[in-house]
Amino acid sequence: MHHDHRGPELPPARGPVSAAVTAYLRDTGPLPRAEDVGGATAYGDDLQLALYLCYELHYRGFAGVAARREWDPDLLRVRSALEHRFLSALRADTPGHDSLDDALAALLVEPVHGTGVSHYLRDEGELWQLREYAAQRSLYHLKEADPHAWVLPRLWGRAKAAMAAVEFDEWGGGRAERVHARLFADLMADLDLDTTYGRYLDAASAEVLATVNLMSLLGLHRELRGALVGHFAAVEITSSPGSRRLAEALRRTGAGPAAQFFYDEHVEADAVHEQVVRHDVIGGLLAEEPHLAADVAFGIDATGYLEDRLGARLLADWRAGRSSLRTPLATRTTGVS
């Protein structure tokens, strides 16, 4: 039996469902009971961690976990039940736009007096809050663009070519030192954070786990390909102005040149990506499959809903003077792995 060794360590459980999934991955116990899965809160720590553990098997896996667990049929059945809880809640709770055009138009509007996380960090955030933000976001940014790659085999023609072009940029245009995950690790190093992949999984809130799980959920299901394109559009269209504010926050707090460079790079790159995604990825997809317009809109709206939940959590903690993390930050001890 082959076990992965380079993946991150399995984190402590956050409830009966994640405890059972962890035990199963370690070959020390059975999978969770159906009643425990059915009773788990859709956006709560226990369900979101259990789902994250299942999804991470499709990326780098975990140290000491058999590689064959990725396609374990019993584990996949549990994952399916967890996904059903999560997706059903999103469909019920996400405020939806009347049309895709309306959803896209909302992304393009920058409020005069913004109140989100990037506005807060730019205007009054402290360095410790920027460090927490980077630690939480590292769960995605250290594998940036990877979840969206799942959609490439599900597209064709103009949409596929445009999506591949944007992904190529995200992966450094063929230059390892320019891969965005590498640039984010450099940002973390400037902030004296541990750059090891998955290092801050235990520290991350349920809200940030949900934002990462959404990408994997949409990417791993062909029937959700339209929603994945919507998610990608939401990320790319809103990235440039948000990145500008975060770069300003990092400059104001003296975070360091590599930290600033990551977001400066995204200001320029994502301004171009926005046009490509709207006109060629979404336009190309709907030219071939016009019936997916509502799914694209759902992907946009669900992304906004989960980002709003995360933002509310972060701002509530920071404005109260408390940490947004579950465990204290670890400082940098290793390089990227």
CA distance 171 to 191: 22
Tokens 């997916």 belong to 292
Q: What pLDDT, on the 0 to 100 scale, is given for residue 337?
A: 45
Yes or no: say if 234 and 304 are a contact pair by the CB < 8 Å rule. Answer: yes
145 burial type by CB count under 10 A (0-12 exposed, 13-18 middle, 19+ buried): buried
Sign of CA dihedral 30, 36, 38, 43: negative
| Token pair 């769960």 in the structure block, residue | 139
Q: Split the chain (337 residues) into runs of 10 and give each run's mean pLDDT.
A: 72 98 98 95 98 98 97 98 98 97 91 86 96 98 96 97 94 93 96 96 98 98 98 91 93 91 80 85 97 98 98 98 92 54
Q: Buried b vs exposed e over 12-26: b needs ≥16 C-beta within 10 Å?
A: ebbbbbbbbbbbbbe
How high is the pLDDT of residue 64?
A: 96
Residue 65 and residue 230: Cα distance in Å, rounded?
33
CA 251 – CA 300 distance, rounded (Å): 30
- pLDDT value, residue 108: 87
What's the whole-model pTM score? Answer: 0.94
**What pLDDT shows up at residue 255?**
92
Helices 127-141 & 293-319 angle (0-180, nearest 10): 150
